[in-house]
Amino acid sequence: MSQELNIQGLGVSEGIKLGKAFVYSPVRLEDVKDQKTDAPDMEAGLLHTAKAHCLADLDALVARANDILGEEKAVILKGQVSMLNDPSFFPPMEKLIHNDKWTAETAVRMITTQTASIFESMPSEYMRERAADVRDVGSRLLMYVRGRQGSQLSDIQEEVIIVADDLSPSDTVQLDKQFVLGFVTRIGGKTSHTAILANSLGIAAILGAGSGIEQIKDGDLLAIDGATGVCIVNPDAKTIEDMREKMRFQEESRQQLLAYADKAAVTVDGFKVEIAANIGTPEEALGLLGTGAEAVGLYRTEFLFMSRSSMPDEETQFQAYKSAAEAMQGRPVIIRTLDIGGDKELPYLELPHELNPFLGYRAIRLCLDRPNLLVTQLRAILRASAYGNLKVMFPMISGLEEWRKAKGIFEEVREQLRLENIPMAEKIEVGVMIEIPSAALQADRFAKEVDFFSIGTNDLVQYTLAVDRMNEKVSYLYDYFHPAVIRLIKQVIDASDRHGKWTGMCGSMAGDPLAAPLLMGLGLHEWSMSPSAIQKIKRQIINLNRSDCQELAERILDMDTPAEVRAALEASQA
């Protein structure tokens, strides 16, 4: 029996899992040394057989991508097939073998790295990223040249925990997600591709576990905790029992929380708020059934635009919005119009590279400059409004002119659809997101004209405190408990109250249990959060007393620093 071994990494996606390790070791082009051969014909034969294997692999992957992973991934894989058949890729490898007597391995490495470096030097980011596709093709060839040395994710046929150096986007195409219990990787952090993937699929993940993972062998039993980042290799009987106990406990608390799904979020003294969910796709709206979400407070439409190679047309958008509306069966769905630019790029919009993207050409600014984008989206939303309870909000509004222009386009589109006799909902609420301090400071003016506000705390904090939270050097300053941010939130809620409107919040603050008494005290009407937070927040609200919360909020508004605010909130929950 092997010795139990503890490895500590970064827990990036919750879940306690027990399972067999699948050690993923792709072959690495950079490890191939320059080597000559005496038998070029044999080497060329190896190369040809490898190509045939690769084409067969890619065919199967394309079929799978078409079925489950969407058009975008299928396009990339088809591109890889074309690269293999390219006259400037494969034939030069053969030449290197026959004319210069390089081995097949060396020839593959030379041509692949040479081709990849051409892409890497191109000005367009999209093209630079294609270098990874070239390397993928080359690595696959190399694997077969070596007689299938290394392992492939598409080989997985049972439930496993994948142990790897790192996982690339093209690796994850090959994954059969039903078999993946968890990930443990040597490198990677909270914002890496693997972390995002694990979170969206609900797969437990430990990243950045370091060189310790080299001691894990294929088939070793692993016990991992994706919250704490602990990975135990070859756990002994006692550890296994402990882990099983933890899994039972996890399941139990999940069950207990489930009891809150159907409860209304009403405080002890009878103040009711609406608990909503943030979603990115209509399929997620279907998944809300049973979570206790009373509405969709934020439908991020950009995913519809991101997972493809060209603009989605009106019909495609209409179908998506209609499915979301229908999935919620008459409960509200707030659709945010395209929020692209900044950190989210759309290759087909050909947006110029900016030095300061968060202060630049993005979201409503982009849509007002290219009104066709907005008109198409609003037509699709208005048409879908006949199938449920849709509301619209505009992101990144900095002043009243922007709002009036956007609202003007909305009215024009509605008039046009009326003329076309297209069925729509009688009344559709239209609101603005409060993400920019200038809009928060003018909330009283906006409140006369809009139907509602939705506070996006993530951007509001970034713009109020002038801090980029992805910058590790300054991210400590990023804090929604900063008194200045709290004052802005209060102004917005008060302004909506005075004009008989309502305020929601769709940033991560709304799903933070620590913030709940404060937001309740400030009088937030609608709370929209990640679906996994809903039951926890409901349980907490049911135990709150609004008048106590109002007193607490009064005290907090008089504080100097985020630390004081946190301390007061922590004390209130002790």
Q: Which residues bind other proteins (CB under 8 A)?
A: 75-76, 78-79, 82-83, 85-89, 115, 118-119, 122-124, 126-127, 130, 133-134, 309-311, 347-350
Pairwise CA distance, residues 491 & 470, whole Å: 28
The answer to whether the CB of 493 falls within 8 A of the CB of 526 is: no
- Of 377 and 496, which CB lies nearer to other proteins in the complex structure? 377
Minimum Å gap between C-beta 204 and other proteins is 33
The answer to whether the CB of 488 falls within 8 A of the CB of 437 is: yes
Pairwise CA distance, residues 485 & 462, whole Å: 10
Please pick, among 193, 353, 482, 525, the residue that the annotation labels catalytic: 193
Pairwise CA distance, residues 81 & 52, whole Å: 11
Tell me, yes or no, if 506 is annotated catalytic. Answer: yes
Of 525, 509, 524, 523, whose CA–CA distance to 566 is shortest? 509
What is the dihedral sign for C-alpha 176, 180, 182, 187?
A: negative
Pairwise CA distance, residues 518 & 527, whole Å: 13
Q: Structure tokens of 451?
A: 């139907």
- Of 56 and 75, which CB lies nearer to other proteins in the complex structure? 75
The answer to whether the CB of 227 falls within 8 A of the CB of 9 is: no
- Of 22 and 119, which CB lies nearer to other proteins in the complex structure? 119
Burial class (CB within 10 angstroms; exposed 0-12, middle 13-18, buried 19+) of 362 = buried
Pairwise CA distance, residues 529 & 513, whole Å: 11
- Of 309 and 471, which CB lies nearer to other proteins in the complex structure? 309
Minimum Å gap between C-beta 65 and other proteins is 13
Cα–Cα separations (whole angstroms), residue 67 to 62, 156, 161, 308, 310: 9, 18, 24, 15, 19
Phi-psi region of 270 (alpha: psi -120 to 50; beta: other; left: phi over 0): left
Please pick, among 54, 231, 367, 506, the residue that the annotation labels catalytic: 506
Minimum Å gap between C-beta 202 and other proteins is 30
- Of 123 and 500, which CB lies nearer to other proteins in the complex structure? 123
- Of 20 and 78, which CB lies nearer to other proteins in the complex structure? 78
- Of 309 and 547, which CB lies nearer to other proteins in the complex structure? 309
Tell me, yes or no, if 231 is annotated catalytic. Answer: no
Minimum Å gap between C-beta 143 and other proteins is 21
The answer to whether the CB of 487 falls within 8 A of the CB of 541 is: no
Integer distance in angstroms from the first to the last C-alpha of the chain? Answer: 45
CB count within 10 Å of CB 36 equals 11
Minimum Å gap between C-beta 118 and other proteins is 5
Minimum Å gap between C-beta 121 and other proteins is 9
Minimum Å gap between C-beta 350 and other proteins is 6
Catalytic residues, by residue number, are 193, 506
